[in-house]
Amino acid sequence: MSILINKSSKVLVQGITGREGAYHAEKMLEYGTQVIAGSTPGKGGQVFSALGKTIPVYNSVSEAKAAHPDLDATIIFVPPAAAADATLEAAHAGIPLIVNIAEGMPVLDMMKVVKELKSLPNVRLIGGNCPGLITPGECKLGIMPASTFKAGRVGMISRSGTLTYEASAMLAAADIGCSTVVGIGGDPMIGTTFIDLLPMFNDDPNTDAVVMIGEIGGADEEQAAEWIAKNMKKPVIAFISGRTAPKGKRMGHAGALIMGNVGTAESKLEAMAKANVPVADTMEEIIVLTKKALGL
């Protein structure tokens, strides 16, 4: 078991005929992900061939969904200017899980998407500006390097792509695997955040502990801490990056920005302390704390 995706998840790739879409579609297939359809406006009727498989390409998500009513998820490879539209297209076509990896979407676009998705409660958006998610050994719905992930019983939620890979690799090196790893993205407005995923891991019988990798900016970690204090039955280990970043400067991620007194590392560390969530001071310490939590 796992959350959100597993070996039977049927996946659509939006923008499959583009360079990035084609590359990652192949990588996902290689991992074993059931990519069963692709879409690109104007390229309907073509086929996408990789690893001996031929996957039909549709002009729209609606048409793909009509031909494959069992589609569970989609991953979007379009330029940031088109990402909001592609997301809404998938949402209105009734795809329950949408991964948007686009980096550099206008904030207003994402605000409107998030607002509109509130009226579509059966649709979950992961991202933008994220690596996607992976249930190791079963399904990779993203652009992460497959080799760093090992199957196991630790859930992971992260605002950073590379730190996700880093932490997963370290866990794997310590022979600890993951149930599902979700890169939620580094933008200030994202479709899914800690507080949306913690309850799923809490209820997932195959997850024993959760690692959450946060960073400066916003108050998502604080909200998560509050939820954990009240509801979480499983151990959570936290990491916060950007502790030494100055105020008012955007640290790579559009979301990693301290504005006034909002989004500081101090605030996040304090919230975690209050919720009795151990915080790793270094990446290495994540492994130490996770082992401890698992009784290893």
Give catalytic residue positions: 253
Q: Does 88 bind other proteins (CB under 8 A)?
A: yes
Q: What length is written for the chain?
A: 296
Adjacent-strand bridge partners of 134: 140, 181
Nearest to 158 by CA among 237, 98, 258: 237
- Contacts with other proteins by CB under 8 A: the residue count is 73
- CA dist 290 and 131 (Å) reads 23
Q: Are strands 73-76 and 97-100 parallel, antiparallel or unpaired?
A: parallel
Question: Rule CB under 8 A: which of 1-40 touch other proteins?
Answer: none
Distances (CA, A) of 17 to 23, 50, 77, 190, 200: 9, 12, 9, 26, 33
Q: Which of 6, 62, 206, 267 binds other proteins (CB under 8 A)?
A: 62
CB-CB contact of 60 with 41 (8 Å) = yes
Lay out the site mask for other proteins across 189-228 (x = CB under 8 A, - = otherwise). x-----------------------x-xxxxxx--------
In the complex, minimum distance from the CB of residue 68 to other proteins, in angstroms, rounded to a whole number: 17
Lay out the site mask for other proteins across 160-179 (x = CB under 8 A, - = otherwise). xxxxxxx--x----------
Q: Does 274 bind other proteins (CB under 8 A)?
A: no
In the complex, minimum distance from the CB of residue 291 to other proteins, in angstroms, rounded to a whole number: 17
Q: Does 46 bind other proteins (CB under 8 A)?
A: no
CB-CB contact of 31 with 44 (8 Å) = no
Say if residue 231 is exposed, middle or buried (CB neighbours under 10 Å; 0-12, 13-18, 19+). exposed
Q: Which of 1, 7, 8, 104 binds other proteins (CB under 8 A)?
A: 104
Assigned token pair, 224: 């998560």
Lay out the site mask for other proteins across 232-251 (x = CB under 8 A, - = otherwise). ---------xxxxxx--xxx
Assigned token pair, 1: 């078991």
For residue 237, is it left (φ>0), alpha (ψ between -120 and 50) or beta? Answer: beta
In the complex, minimum distance from the CB of residue 12 to other proteins, in angstroms, rounded to a whole number: 14
Adjacent-strand bridge partners of 135: 139
Q: Does 89 bind other proteins (CB under 8 A)?
A: yes
In the complex, minimum distance from the CB of residue 46 to other proteins, in angstroms, rounded to a whole number: 13
Of 136 and 188, the one with the shorter C-beta distance to other proteins is: 188
Question: Rule CB under 8 A: which of 114-153 touch other proteins?
Answer: 114-116, 143-145, 147-148
Amino acid at 43: K
In the complex, minimum distance from the CB of residue 135 to other proteins, in angstroms, rounded to a whole number: 18
Question: Rule CB under 8 A: which of 64-83 touch other proteins?
Answer: 80-82
Distances (CA, A) of 135 to 120, 146, 288: 25, 10, 23
